[in-house]
A and B are shown apart, each in its own frame.
Chain A
Amino acid sequence: MSRLAALLLLALATVASAVAAEIPLAERRSGYELMSRETRAMQDDDAANPATLWVLDGAALWTRKTGAAARACADCHGDARDSMKGVAARHPAFDPVRGRPITLEQRINACRTERQQAPALAWESRELLALAAYVARQSRGMPIDVAVDARTQPFVDAGRATFQRRQGQLNLSCAQCHDEQWGRQLAGNVIPQAHPTGYPLYRLEWQTVGSLQRRFRGCLTGIRAEPYEYGAPELVDLELFLKVRARGMPMDAPAVRP
Chain B
Amino acid sequence: MPSIKSETITITLAAWNQYQQLVRNSADAVWKIRAAFYAVSSALLASGYASQTNFIYLTVPLAAILFLLLEGGHLRLQMQYIKKSLEIERTITDLLVDEKDPFLPMEGISTAISTPTLLEMFALFSPKRYLFWLPYLMIIATAMLLGIYDVHAAAA
Same complex: no
Chain A interface residues (CB < 8 Å from chain B): none
